[in-house]
Amino acid sequence: MNKMELYEKLSTAITQKRRVSLLTITAAGRAEMVGKRMLFFSQDEFYPEAGLDMKLAFQLAEICFPFFLQQHTRSVTFESHDETVRVFHEAFAPPPHLIIAGAGHVAEPVAQMGKMLGFYTSVIDDRQEFARKERFPFSDNVCCQSFHSYFKSVPLNDSTYILLLTRGHQFDVLSLQQLLARNEKPAYIGMIGSRRRIAGVFEQLRADFPNETFANLYTPVGLDIGAETPEEIAVSIFAEILAVKKGKTGAPLSSTIRELAKIGFRKGKKDERK
C-alpha cells in the first residue's frame, strides 16, 4: 500500500467512525525504515506502507495493541532484532455515536443534550415532516429513512449508543430485529415505553431470538428520577447512558457520606484503613 492509499483508507475509517491508529517509525537502525507508516485496526487487520519490513510490521502490531485499545497517543521504543526502533502511535478515537430512532418531541432535547456531551448525533425517522434539520439544528445527521433499512446497514461498534423513541412498538420490533440479527453489537440500546408496550416487544422478539439475553437492552430507558417533561426525560436517559459508558452504578454520590455520617466520620476513616 502506497502512502496515498494509506491516507485514503485512514480518511475513510475516520468518516465511518472506526477506531484506527496511525503508526509512524521515527527512529530505526535501518535508515530506509524511518518515516514508514502503518495503519492499524487490530492485531489481525493492519496495513503497512510499501517497503515496511513485514517482520517489523507484525512486531509493531503486537507492541502497539495495548495503546490502541486505550486510544493513547504516545511514542514507544523497543528492540527489534539487531536495531532499536522508536514508533509514534497516533490514535484516532471516533466520538461515541448516538442514534436516536424516532424524531418526536422527546428526541429534540435528547439530540441537543447528546451533542453537548460530545456524541456524534444522528436522528432517524421515516416521516419527512419530522426528520427535518430545522427541528434538530444541533444534530450531525438527520435522516428520513425506514428504521428497518437504516439499522440493517448502519455501522455499529462498542462506541454506538442507540435510543428507540419511536411512535409505536411495531417500529421498536422492526429496529430490534435488525440490530439483534447483526454480528456487530452496540454498547447500549435504550427503549422508551410503558410496561405493556415493552412486554409486547419482548414477546415478539423471543420467538425470533430464543437464546438472546438482551444484555445491552435497557428498557424502560433512563434512571428513576421522576422525569416527566421531555427535558427531564433527556436528563434521565443520559444519566443512564453515562453510567453504562463509564461503568458506574448510577447510585447517588451522597450514599457513602450518609453511611459514614451514621457511624461517625472519624470511625469510618479508621475502618477504611484496616
Give the whole-angstrom CA distance, residue 16 versus residue 266: 53
8 Å CB contact between 214 and 246: no
- pLDDT class of 58 with cuts at 50, 70, 90: very high
CATH entry 3.40.50.720 includes domain 97-246:
yes
| Residue 38, SS3 per DSSP | strand
Q: What is the mean pLDDT of the chain?
A: 91
pLDDT, one tens digit per residue, over 84-99 is: 999 999 999 888 999 9
Give whole-number Cα distances, 218 to 141, 176, 187, 244, in Å. 24, 12, 11, 10
8 Å CB contact between 89 and 37: no
Residue with cell 415478539: 204
Cα dihedral 27/31/37/43 (nearest 10): -70
Instruction: Output phi, psi for 141, to 5 deg.
Output: -150, 125
Cell numbers for 26, please give them. 521515527
220: closest CA among 243, 179, 190? 190
More confident of the two residues 124 and 82: 124
Helix ranges (H only) for the chain are 3-15, 54-70, 107-116, 147-153, 169-181, 195-208, 230-246, 254-263, 265-273
* Annotated domain spans of the chain: 3-92, 97-246
- Could you tell me the strand order of the sheet in which 74-80 lies? 45-48, 37-42, 20-27, 83-92, 74-80
Cell numbers for 218, please give them. 435497557
Give the model's pLDDT for residue 41.
92
Give the model's pLDDT for residue 124.
97
Cell numbers for 175, please give them. 429496529
- Could you tell me the strand order of the sheet in which 97-101 lies? 141-144, 120-125, 97-101, 160-164, 188-191, 217-218
pLDDT, one tens digit per residue, over 189-237 is: 999 988 888 988 988 898 888 888 888 899 999 999 999 999 999 999 9
Q: State the distance between the two ends of the chain, measured CA to CA, in whole angstroms.
A: 59
Give the model's pLDDT for residue 69.
87
Query: Which residues are CB-contacts of 212 (< 8 A; sequence separation ≥ 6)?
Result: 180, 205, 206
Give the whole-angstrom CA distance, residue 115 versus residue 141: 11
